[in-house]
Chain A
Amino acid sequence: MSFLIDSGIMVTSQVLFFGFGWLFFMRKLFKDYEVRQYVVQVIFSVTFAFSCTMFELIIFEILGVLNSSSRYFHWKLNLCVILLILVFMVPFYIGYFVVSNIRLLHRQKLLFACVLWLTFMYFFWKLGDPFPILSPKHGILSIEQLISRVGVIGVTLMALLSGFGAVNCPYTYMSYFLRNVTDADILALERRLLQTMDMIISKKKRIAVAHRTMFQRGEVHNKPTGFWGMIKSVTTSVAGSENLSLIQQEVDALEELSRQLFLETADLHATKERIEYSKTFQGKYFNFLGYFFSIYCVWKIFMATINIVFDRVGKTDPVTRGIEITVNYLGIQFDVKFWSQHISFILVGIIIVTSIRGLLITLTKFFYAISSSKSSNVIVLLLAQIMGMYFVSSVLLIRMSMPLEYRTIITEVLGELQFNFYHRWFDVIFLVSALSSILFLYLAHKQAPEKHMAL
C-alpha cells in the first residue's frame, strides 16, 4: 500500500518537472521560433523531468522520506529510463533531424537516421576502452557499461564548464578589468564605420551603373564558368569587365572592414554599458562578490593540483569534516546525527539548485548564439543530450559531498563503478579548463586595449 502512495508522489513530481521543462522550452529557448515538431519539445521536457527526479530522490534519501525499498525501485526505474533516452532516443532523433535538413537524402530519412545512430553507438562504445572505469565482472549490455560511458562524457562536460565558469565569473564581476571607454571613442568609431559604408555604396553605384549601361547596349557580361571558360578568359578579356572585377575586390575588402568595425563598435557599447552598471548599487555588490569568487577560484585550482600531484582522493565529505573540526577543535558539543542530516540536506540542495540553474542559463545563452531557424531542432536536442549527461554525472559526483550513510544507495544503484577515477578525471579536466581559460582571457584582454588605442 505504501508503495502505491510513494509511486503516486513520484509520478506527481515527475509531471510537475515535465511541466516546468515544457514552459522553459516555450518561454525561454524557443522564444523567437515556432515549434513545428512537437516531438522535440516532448523529448526535451521528458529528459529534464527524469533528470530532476534523480535529484529529488537524493533529497528524499537524505531526509528519509518514502519507503527504503520503494526508493530503491524508483532509482532503478529512473536510471533505466534516462539511459534509454540518452543512448537510444535522443541520438536517433538528432540523426533524423540532421538528415531532414539535407535535401538530397529526403527519401530515405529513416534509413540514414539509423545509419547515423549506429555510428554514434560505435563511437560511444569505443569511448570506454581507454578508461579504467569498469571492473571486468559485468556483461556487455548491463547498466554499468552504459552509465560508465555516459559518466565519462558528463564529467568532462561538467569539469569544462566549471573550469571556465570559475575563471570567467570573477572576470565579469569585477570592475577592475573594465577598459575605459569614453563617448568620444564611440563616436569616432561610428564615424569611421559610416565612412566605410559610404565608400562601399559609391563603389557599388559605379558597378551598378556599369552593368546597366552594358545591359542597355546589349552586351551581356558572362562570368567565366567552368574549366574552358576560365581558359578562354585568359586570352580574350573585355576592358570594362577587368575594371569591374577590380572594383568588386575592393568592395569585398571594404565589406570585411565594415564588419570588423561593427563588431568593435558593439564591443565598445557593451563595455560602456557595463561601466554604467558597475556604478549602480547592484554593480558594486557584484564587484564585491567578484573578489570572493576569485579567491574561491584560486582555492579550487590549488586543491585540484594538490589532488593530482599527491594522488589523493578525499575520503570524507565536507559536512562530516566540518562537524569533526567543530567538535574536536572548537569543543562545541551538539547532536551529530541530527545536524549532519540537515546540513548535508542544505548543502546538497544548494549544489543541485545552483547547478541546474547554471546549466539552464548557459544552455539558453548557447542556444541564442548559435541557432538559426533551420538548425534549431537539432541544437535543442543536442542541448537535451548534454543536459541529461550532465545531470547523470552530477549524481555520480555528488556522492562525494554526502555523508557515508547516504552514499550507500547511490553505490547500490549505480553498481560497481570506480568512483575515484571520476573524481580524478574531474580534477584533471577542471585544471586544464581553468588554466586555458585564464590564458585565453588574458590574451583577449591584452589584445583589446591595443586595438582600441590604435584608432
Chain B
Amino acid sequence: MAALDRVKVLVLGDSGVGKSSLVHLLCHNQVLGNPSWTVGCSVDVRIHDYKEGTPEEKTYYIELWDVGGSVGSATSVKSTRAVFYNSLNGIILVHDLTNKKSSQNLYRWSLEALNRDVAPTGVLVTNGDYDREQFADNQIPLLVIGTKLDQIPETKRNEVLTRTAFLAEDFNAEEINLDCTNPRYLAAGSSNAVKLSRFFDKVIEKRYFLRDGNQIPGFSERKRFGGGTLKSLHYD
C-alpha cells in the first residue's frame, strides 16, 4: 500500500455551489459539518479501486483539487489559479441546480482549465460562446455534478433535470445530481455511485493505459494542454 499510483482531478465551479462539501463527501463518506469559504486550493485524497470486482483490480489514489474563486476574476487572479491546472487528468464541473448562472459559467470554467482562452493580450478569444468543435478532440474526461437537489421543489424537478441533461451532453460527459448533505445519494450500488466509479476508471485509463492496453509506468508528466510555458513543478 506504500506507493500507489495517483491521478489528479480538478473540481471546478462558482463560489458557493458546494465543491468543498462534495469533495469531503467523496473522500470521507461523511457530510462536511462546517463549510467555509475556500481560499486558494484545497486538496483531498480518495482511494479508488480500479476495475473493482475483476481480476485486474488495482488501487489508486485520486487527488481532488478543489480550486476556489469566480470565473469573472481579474486576469491576475486567473494566472494565479493557473498554477493548479498543471498535468491534470480529469475535471469535475460542479454547478448549483438552484442557480442557472452557475451552470452557464461552467463553459467558461472548462475553457479556463483546458487553457483555450489564453491569448497574448489576455482577451477572451472565444467570446464566451461555446463551440462544441473545440471540445471534440478533448482527451480529458469530464463529469458534471449538480448540487442542492433537495432545494428544488418536486414540481420543478423535471424542468431542471432536462436542462442539466442538455448541459452534460454539451460537455460529452455523464451527470450526477445530488445533495451534498445527504450521503445516501452516493450509497454503494446506486446509479450515481456507478457513474462516479466509471468516471474515475476512465480517468485512470486515460492516464495509465494506452489504447492497446499497455500500461505506462508512472513518471512525472510534463504535458500542459494547449502548449504554453513548460512548468514542471510537480514531483512524483
Binding site for B on A (CB under 8 A): 31-34, 187, 190-191, 193-195, 197-198, 200-201, 204-205, 208-209, 212-213, 255, 258-259, 261-263, 265-266, 269-270, 272-273, 368, 372-374
Contacts and interface: CB of A to CB of B under 8 A. Distances in A.
B72 A31 contact: yes
Contacts of B101: 31-34
B235 A269 contact: no
Interface of B: 1, 4, 14-16, 27, 37, 39-47, 61, 63, 70, 72, 74-77, 79-80, 83-84, 86, 96, 98-102, 105, 231, 233-235
Contacts of B16: 372-374
A259 B39 contact: yes
Contacts of A258: 40-41
Contact of B27 (A32, A191, A208): A208
A208 B76 contact: no
A265 B75 contact: no
B44 A34 contact: no
A194 B65 CA distance: 12
Which of B41, B72, B84: most chain A CB closer than 10 A? B41
B1 A209 contact: yes
Contact of B75 (A32, A190, A263, A273): A273
Contact of A191 (B70, B98, B233): B233
Contacts of A194: 83, 86, 233-234
A340 B175 CA distance: 69
A393 B89 CA distance: 57
A16 B61 CA distance: 59
Contacts of B45: 201, 204-205, 208
Contacts of B1: 209, 213
B72 A265 contact: no
A368 B72 CA distance: 10
B44 A255 contact: no
Contacts of A197: 41, 43, 84
A273 B76 contact: yes
A204 B80 CA distance: 24
A208 B46 contact: yes
A330 B79 CA distance: 57
A255 B233 contact: no
Q: Is the interface of B mostly helix, strand, loop or mixed?
A: mixed
A33 B76 contact: no
Contact of A32 (B4, B70, B84): B70
Nearest to B8: A201
Given A208-B45, A212-B47, A269-B77, 10 more contacts: A32-B14, A34-B101, A190-B231, A194-B83, A195-B235, A263-B39, A263-B40, A373-B15, A373-B16, A374-B16
Given A204-B45, A208-B46, A373-B99, A198 B83 contact: no
Which of B40, B98, B101: most chain A CB closer than 10 A? B40
A192 to B, nearest CB: 10
A190 B47 contact: no
A234 B70 CA distance: 45
Which of B4, B76, B84: most chain A CB closer than 10 A? B76
A270 B61 contact: no
Nearest to A255: B42
B39 A190 contact: no
Contacts of B74: 270, 273
A190 B70 contact: no
B9 to A, nearest CB: 12
B83 A190 contact: yes
A241 to B, nearest CB: 16
Nearest to B40: A262
A378 to B, nearest CB: 14
B90 to A, nearest CB: 16
A266 B68 CA distance: 13
Q: Which 9 A-B pairs have the closest CB atoms?
A: A262-B40, A269-B76, A373-B16, A270-B76, A266-B80, A204-B45, A273-B76, A194-B233, A259-B39
A264 to B, nearest CB: 10
Contacts of A204: 43-45
Nearest to A266: B80
A195 B234 CA distance: 8
B152 to A, nearest CB: 12
A70 to B, nearest CB: 44
Which of B42, B43, B74: most chain A CB closer than 10 A? B43
B40 A190 contact: no
16 contacts: A32-B14, A32-B70, A32-B101, A32-B105, A194-B83, A197-B41, A201-B45, A205-B4, A208-B61, A258-B41, A262-B40, A263-B39, A270-B74, A368-B70, A372-B37, A373-B99
A32 B235 contact: no
Contact of A34 (B27, B61, B100): B100
Contacts of B4: 205
A67 to B, nearest CB: 47
A209 B41 CA distance: 22
B233 A190 contact: yes
A212 B231 CA distance: 34
Nearest to B28: A211
B47 A193 contact: no
A59 to B, nearest CB: 35
Contacts of B15: 32, 372-373
